[in-house]
Amino acid sequence: MKWFNFILIKLTICLVVGILIGFFYRISYTVVLTGGIVGFIAWLLLFVLTDNNTEQPIYLGITTYGLMIFIGVLVVTFHTRVNQQHHYVNKVNVGTSQNIKIEVYKKLKPTRFYQKYLGNVIVCGTKKTSGIVLINADSTQTINIDDMVYASVKFQEIKPALNPHQFDYKSYMQKLQVSHQVFLNSKNTMLLGQNKTLYGRANNIRKQINTTLKAYSISEENLSVINALLLGQRQGVSKDTYKSFTTSGTVHILAISGLHIGLLLLLLSGLFRPLTYFKHGNSIVSISIVLLLWSYAFIVGMSASVVRAVTMFSLFTLAFYSNRITNTYNTLVMSAFILLLCHPYYIFDIGFQMSYSAVFAIIWIKPLFDGLWQPKFFISKKMWDVFSVTVAAQFGVLPLSLFYFHQFPGLFFISNMVIIPLLGFLLGLGVITLLFAYFGWIPKVLYQVFNQCISWLLEFVQFIAAQEEFVFKELSFNNLNMIAFYTLIITVVLLLKRFNYQRLVSVLCSVIFVQLVFINNAREATSKEFIVFNQYKATLIGEKSARNFQYASKNLTNTQSLNTYVVNEFIQSIEKDSMKNIYMFKDKHILVVDNKGIYNTSFKSNIVVLRASPKVNLERLISVVNPELIVVDNNNYKSYVNRWKETCLETRTPIHITKEKGAYILK
């Protein structure tokens, strides 16, 4: 791997190691800063004392890499906002009512009950503070970007995942530097006016564009796709539409990322090409393209994926027009290095991981396809380029995609071969349409053509998504599988690039590694568990025995928790059973009391599960049954649950409420 010898790549790897150490092992800011200063002084002394005419000694290299690891730890510690002295967590008593002032700067995808935003907390009581908070605004409160909000609220912890293997929203928000949430309504909130920030100006531009598009009676579905495709706003995309794009393997076009910015760069390069024939033309073109790319990033909201892509392609542009592209890998890694220095939490962003994996795979693997076939005709050459880029990128992101989403769209190459060549045309046409829309008028022909293209795009995506037999869903795939498959892909590509005995052995070893991972997964799946899931207004009880799962449910309409558990636990067979009042698990008797309130007292029950709001005297039940634990699922009236908590407190009986503590798991 010649590319591994480049110093910048090694430094970036050390930076990533430092970021991971700093994130998973909380280290005092003073300790990290002191260590960094000492490390820098040591490195500087060694560098000065080293003879430049001789080969660099190994201890200087070790010191350099160690210093970069320290920098990684320092950067992530510095960017962890709760470590900062003025963060609201360190200034107020979280959990008590506070008078706060928030500056709203970003809108998130809404839920059924709340509009969601991110805001900076600038005042708590009389104290100046900092820190980002998640805002939940109900239907009685209207909030816009740049609004200054005064509210009397309690900071509340964001709830973690309440079912096994469920998406952990709390962990996700922590990686966005959001530690708490507040709930706003018309009674506890007052708007103080608006600031004029870049976020607000960009939001006003998008509003103006949407107002014009709505005046032309564009459908809600088409409008949501336009906002996602060109303006980076996916909040309005319906679940069905998003699912169609996911199933067809084209969901990446709904998030403005490297593909969009790369195509936009090609369009701008073609537009400005005549200027390159003039004196200083290359400098003018490169600066103009970079400015336009960052202007576009500003308009679409400066999301992480956009900033990532624009940074990467800005470096490519400057290097290309200054004739300084010496190595594509270095340019790619330099963009990642800069981004991670400025925002180390990008390393945990799925989009960051997938975009860099895809671009790296294209650069590294596509030459293999170029060597297989070199078409002579223009159309066949372009089709082969699209196919090879699509497949190479898929190799780069496949293990990550299986790990995060547990599905594989079998027709991805067909959908992408159709959409990617047309996406450049659609982006160019869309940008022109949006420019007209901003000024309040769109030529009729332009609007009709653009709207029809969006409709055709949706119809094609929905057609591909309808071929469900080609979509492989609910694939069990964990982090060990991901590492093993990446190892296999890397060793196979290395062997194809240059065949020798050592590389053949490495491929065979990686195949054995993959098999050992599957054997290990099968061995670990032999455990037994009894689970009471946390289901809103429903009951779900299951028993896992090795790779078999038997469950019973009442009023269950959302099966996501069940499906997620089955996939991540490598379950092979699943069976639905009727709800029972008595369960036996190992040496434990489990009594389930439902809305009928009838229970058997002829034997001792170790655990009592209360579901469907049974009208029972819990104190009497405890005195008769004498359980070790009371489990309350999320299918009970809130008033009942509060009364049961008081009873358990008085009788000193442990209680597990799934709505508060998550699913109850007995192993």
Rounded mean pLDDT of 22-34? Answer: 80
Rounded mean pLDDT of 310-326? Answer: 79
- The whole-angstrom separation of Cα 463 and Cα 351 is 26
- The whole-angstrom separation of Cα 611 and Cα 635 is 6
Structural domain includes residue 639:
yes
Structural domain includes residue 312:
no
Angle at 419 between CA 416 and CA 425, to 5 degrees: 145
What pLDDT does residue 204 have?
Answer: 87
654 and 576 within one domain:
yes
544 and 495 within one domain:
no
535 and 631 within one domain:
yes
Contact 121/316 with Cβ under 8 angstroms? Answer: no
138 and 43 within one domain:
no
What pLDDT does residue 599 have?
Answer: 78
Residue 104: which domain range? 88-195
| 153: β partners | 98
Kindly indicate the confidence band of residue 82, based on its pLDDT and cuts at 50, 70 and 90: confident
The Cα-based distances of 233 to 35, 290, 291, 591, 596 in angstroms read 42, 22, 22, 49, 49
575 and 498 within one domain:
no
Structural domain includes residue 636:
yes
- The whole-angstrom separation of Cα 126 and Cα 97 is 14
Structural domain includes residue 573:
yes
- The whole-angstrom separation of Cα 9 and Cα 594 is 61
102 and 190 within one domain:
yes
What pLDDT does residue 4 have?
Answer: 47
Tokens of 590: 């489990």
Rounded mean pLDDT of 365-393? Answer: 85
- The whole-angstrom separation of Cα 184 and Cα 151 is 7
Contact 104/117 with Cβ under 8 angstroms? Answer: yes
626 and 538 within one domain:
yes
- The whole-angstrom separation of Cα 69 and Cα 63 is 10
CATH of the domain at 595: 3.60.15.10
Report the candidate in 556, 579, 576, 557 with the shortest Cα–Cα distance to residue 566: 576
Rounded mean pLDDT of 563-590? Answer: 90
Which of 195, 222, 247 is the C-terminal boundary of a domain?
Answer: 195
- The whole-angstrom separation of Cα 77 and Cα 22 is 6
What pLDDT does residue 542 have?
Answer: 93
Note the pTM of the prediction, 2 decimals. Answer: 0.84
Contact 230/434 with Cβ under 8 angstroms? Answer: yes
Which of 163, 195, 227 is the C-terminal boundary of a domain?
Answer: 195
The Cα-based distances of 386 to 313, 369, 392 in angstroms read 19, 11, 10
The Cα-based distances of 455 to 218, 246, 433, 437, 642 in angstroms read 10, 17, 15, 19, 52
| Amino acid at residue number 575 | E
CA atoms within 13 A on the CB side of 414: 13
What pLDDT does residue 324 have?
Answer: 66
634 and 567 within one domain:
yes
Among the residue ranges 167-171, 522-526, 534-538, the one predicted with the least confidence is: 522-526
Give the H/E segment covering residue 629: strand 629-632
| 573: β partners | 548
What pLDDT does residue 52 have?
Answer: 61
Kindly indicate the confidence band of residue 634, based on its pLDDT and cuts at 50, 70 and 90: very high
Query: Dihedral of CA 88/94/100/104: which sign?
Result: positive
- For 595-630, letters b (16+ CB in 10 Å) and e give eeeebeeeeebbbbbbbbbbebebeebbeebebebb
Kindly indicate the confidence band of residue 118, based on its pLDDT and cuts at 50, 70 and 90: very high
- Between 40 and 644, the more confident residue is 644
- The whole-angstrom separation of Cα 657 and Cα 490 is 47
Structural domain includes residue 395:
no
- The whole-angstrom separation of Cα 74 and Cα 40 is 12
Structural domain includes residue 589:
yes
Angle at 248 between CA 246 and CA 254, to 5 degrees: 50
535 and 510 within one domain:
no
**Best mean pLDDT range from 28-37, 176-185, 232-241, 656-665:** 656-665
Rg (CA), the chain: 29
By three-state DSSP, how is residue 529 classified? Answer: strand
129 and 47 within one domain:
no
The Cα-based distances of 427 to 433, 434, 580 in angstroms read 10, 10, 58
By three-state DSSP, how is residue 451 classified? Answer: helix
Structural domain includes residue 430:
no
629 and 583 within one domain:
yes
Report the candidate in 617, 627, 540 with the shortest Cα–Cα distance to residue 577: 540
Contact 140/188 with Cβ under 8 angstroms? Answer: no
Q: What is the pLDDT of residues 477-491, one digit of tens each?
A: 999 999 999 999 999
**Mean pLDDT, the chain, as a whole number?**
86
Q: What is the 3-state secondary structure (H, E, C) of 354-382?
A: HHHHHHHHHHHHHHHHHHHCCCCCHHHHH
pLDDT score of 371 more than 70:
yes
Structural domain includes residue 438:
no
Which of 463, 493, 519 is the C-terminal boundary of a domain?
Answer: 519
Q: In 10 A of CB 563, how many CB atoms?
A: 16
pLDDT score of 2 more than 60:
no
Angle at 551 between CA 550 and CA 555, to 5 degrees: 160
What pLDDT does residue 534 have?
Answer: 94
What pLDDT does residue 331 have?
Answer: 79
CATH of the domain at 163: 2.40.50
Q: What is the pLDDT of residues 252-279, one digit of tens each?
A: 788 777 778 888 888 888 888 888 888 8
What pLDDT does residue 231 have?
Answer: 87
Rounded mean pLDDT of 411-424? Answer: 82
pLDDT score of 3 more than 50:
no
Q: In 10 A of CB 433, how many CB atoms?
A: 24
pLDDT score of 1 more than 60:
no
CA diameter of the chain: 97
First to last CA, the chain: 46
Q: What is the pLDDT of residues 499-535, one digit of tens each?
A: 899 999 999 999 999 999 999 988 887 789 999 999 9
650 and 584 within one domain:
yes
Q: What is the pLDDT of residues 48-69, one digit of tens each?
A: 777 665 566 677 778 888 888 8
Size of the chain in residues: 667
Contact 143/105 with Cβ under 8 angstroms? Answer: no
| Amino acid at residue number 37 | I
Question: 263: exposed, middle or buried (C-beta count within 10 Å: 0-12, 13-18, 19+)?
Answer: middle
What is the domain count for the chain? Answer: 4
- The whole-angstrom separation of Cα 412 and Cα 393 is 11
| Amino acid at residue number 494 | L
pLDDT score of 436 more than 80:
yes
Q: What is the 3-state secondary structure (H, E, C) of 386-428?
A: HHHHHHHHHHHHHHHHHHHHCCEECCHHHHHHHHHHHHHHHHH
- The whole-angstrom separation of Cα 156 and Cα 394 is 41
Contact 226/454 with Cβ under 8 angstroms? Answer: yes
Query: Dihedral of CA 83/86/90/96: which sign?
Result: negative
Give the H/E segment covering residue 621: helix 618-625
